[in-house]
Amino acid sequence: MSTLESIVIIGAGHTGGRAAEALRGAGFAGRVVLVGEESHLPYERPPLSKELLAGTMELEKVTLNPESYYDENNIQLLLGISAQEIELGLGRVRLSDDTDVAFDKLMIATGGRVRRLACPGADLHGVYYIRDINDTLLLRPELRDGVRVAVIGGGFIGLEVAATARRRGCHVTVIELADQVLARVADPAVGALVADIHHAEGVHIVTGASVERIEGDAEVAEVICTDGETLEVDVVVVGIGILPNQEIAAEAGIACGPKGTQGGIKVDEFGHTSAANVYAAGDVAFHYNPILKRHLRLESWGNAQNSAIAVARNMVLDPVAYAEVPWFWSDQFDLNLQVAGAPETWDRLVVRGDPAAKKGIVFYMTGDRVVGATAFNQGREMRFLKKLVETGAPVDDSALADEGKRLRDIAG
Amino acid sequence: MAAHLVAKTSEIAEDEAKKVIIGDQHVAVFNLGGEFYATDDICTHAYASLSEGYIEDGCVECPLHAGRFDIKTGKAQGVPVTEDIKTFPVRVDGDNVYVEI
Ligand SMILES: Cc1cc2nc3c(=O)[nH]c(=O)nc-3n(C[C@H](O)[C@H](O)[C@H](O)COP(=O)(O)OP(=O)(O)OC[C@H]3O[C@@H](n4cnc5c(N)ncnc54)[C@H](O)[C@@H]3O)c2cc1C
């Protein structure tokens, strides 16, 4: 190891927290400073739309490590403070409390912020978003028995909120702009399977429509959809995606991907940005994946954890490429959905088991290769699904569809 | 502590597990190379059933978030799991598997 003195991490979310831990795990003995805008210790976000929103999980359970961990490992936490500017030439970061902190190496783990609804009435009281703990704690008491909830956006977050609200006795309508839920991330047939699970639980789903305006005196009262439908509501929850917090890098002249949801800070397979000694990981990183042979940005717990660990190690040890098959999960009602891969195109699907009955797998195929898979309550098979995507080994549709043939054997 | 009959040895194949509920305690009973072990069935990280996990090299991998535990000792094997899982003594008598709780 070099004589490195100081590593600063901007963003004390899941990625920042795991990165600090991994630096110590790799034996780095210099200074580690973790700067976070939120006042909370680094935590995991998945429960925010699930158990924490449902009220079935304790708040402490979402934190990665207790406060004592940071003391014991000499990790300096600057919480409630945001980084304002990266001064590359001077090797320091200017902070919101008018101080600055010097770095020899820097990790940017600033994640993303929610896209806001722009229609008239979007700022009325009763319109909620979910990205951080405070959002969840604000929304939770509103989700009471009989409350009418409109969820804008039928992506994973929207559907999870819909499921949690439904379980709390709310009347829930999901409004999705595309023709099917999960349109951005799944085949319409997979979206339809998930939509049917929601229908069976009593969730109302409106597709092919967006919100034209929200009406009400101070409080939300009605959502008027572009297809003319009017919903009487008590609560609106918006889940229409996130924008990567890349500005701080872009302003320092660090290369970023295209603007908007697809953007992010551009890094190579080692997590290195275009600037010397500056790295990025997690939701904000538009990273090169050697397995998929392209750059992509992922918004997933697995990527937050594993890219943080890989990139942190690369900052202090001999670099090893971060090369994993993308992995995501979602819990809705009694369905645990897990996704391997991030295919952009495919030519057909192969079904194994009975996903409609919440036990099965849908494979995304290109030629004789599996390019992605969605598992319905089949977590145990994930390692084989990832392996199939990773190796790209030729497989027979009939073997994949045959539950008598173990995936472990097919994946080899 | 009382011994509870939880399975026949033939019921749980090698590197497989069975879930049983004793009182309010969810227990995963594992067969590792013909030896039987029992742990809490619920992962310490999130609500998931370890008996539905993948078993390899004496460890069980949680089906939800891939946290791994050593089945014999209950030791958490690293992120995301930090808290060990409880283990319970197991006794095999003929072809009966008992867990002591
Ligand atoms: C409600 C919800 C549910 C989810 N469920 C799942 C799921 O079931 N499965 C799954 O795989 N993934 C899920 N995810 C995604 C997963 O949580 C994210 O991918 C992960 O949180 C990304 O971690 P991150 O640290 O890169 O970014 P973030 O979690 O966004 O953390 C970034 C942190 O940086 C801080 N920050 C930003 N700018 C600055 C600055 N200039 N200075 C200082 N601090 C700054 C932010 O305040 C934030 O705390 C979910 C996300 C949400 C919001």
Picking from A14, A49, A380 by the largest number of B CB atoms within 10 A of its own CB, the best residue to mutate is A380
Q: What is the dihedral of CA A206, A208, A213, A214, to 10 degrees?
A: 20
Confidence of residue A261 (pLDDT cuts 50, 70, 90): low
- ipTM, interface predicted TM-score of the complex: 0.83
Within this chain, domains A6-113+242-316 and A334-411 share the same CATH topology: no
- What is the reported pLDDT for B1? 80
Domain that holds residue B68: 3-100
CA distance A300 to A253: 27
Cβ <8 Å between A301 and B66 = no
Contact A9, A307 (CB under 8 A): no
Confidence of residue A260 (pLDDT cuts 50, 70, 90): low
Q: Which of A396, A405, A361 is nearest to A380 (CA)?
A: A361
- What is the reported pLDDT for A4? 66
In CATH, the architecture of A334-411 is 2-Layer Sandwich (3.30)
Of the residues A301, A330, A337, which should be mutated to test ligand 1's pocket, given the most ligand atoms within 8 Å of the CB?
A: A301
Q: List pLDDT tens digits, range A3-39.
A: 669 999 999 999 999 999 999 999 999 999 999 999 9
- Please tell me the distance in Å from A194's CA to the nearest CA on chain B: 18
In CATH, the architecture of A6-113+242-316 is 3-Layer(bba) Sandwich (3.50)
Any idea where the domains of chain A sit in the sequence? 6-113+242-316, 116-238, 334-411
Picking from A51, A382, A408 by the largest number of B CB atoms within 10 A of its own CB, the best residue to mutate is A382
Q: Does the global pTM surpass 0.90?
A: yes
pLDDT of residue B21 exceeding 80, the answer is yes
CB burial of A107-122 (b: ≥16 within 10 Å; e: otherwise) equals bbbbbbebbebeeebb
CA distance B94 to A253: 72
Contact A181, A207 (CB under 8 A): yes
Please name the residue that has the structure tokens 């990665």.
A64
Stated as kind and residue range, the H or E segment containing A135 is: helix A133-139
Cα–chain center distance at A205: 23
- What is the reported pLDDT for A1? 46
What CATH number does the domain containing B65 carry?
Answer: 2.102.10.10
Number of domains in chain B: 1
Average pLDDT value for chain B? 94
Counting one residue from chain A and one from chain B, the pairs whose CB atoms sit within 8 A come to 33
Q: List pLDDT tens digits, range B25-73.
A: 999 999 999 999 999 999 998 888 999 999 999 999 999 889 999 999 9
Q: Measured between beta carbons, which residues in chain B are less than 8 angstroms from residue A309?
A: 79
Q: List pLDDT tens digits, range A105-149.
A: 999 999 999 999 999 999 999 999 999 999 999 999 999 999 999
Contact A364, A376 (CB under 8 A): no
- Phi, psi angles (nearest 5°) of residue A384: -75, -35
Contact A33, A20 (CB under 8 A): no
- What is the reported pLDDT for B47? 83
Q: List pLDDT tens digits, range A314-368.
A: 999 999 999 999 999 999 999 999 999 999 999 999 999 999 999 999 999 999 9
R_g (Cα) of chain B, nearest Å: 12
A63 burial via Cβ count (<10 Å: 0-12, 13-18, 19+): middle
CA distance B51 to B6: 14
Cβ <8 Å between A305 and B48 = no
pLDDT of residue A87 exceeding 70, the answer is yes
Residue of B nearest to A335 (CA): B64
Region A116-238: CATH code: 3.50.50.60
Instruction: List, edge to edge, every strand of the sheet that includes A171-176.
Output: A127-129, A235-238, A148-152, A171-176, A204-207
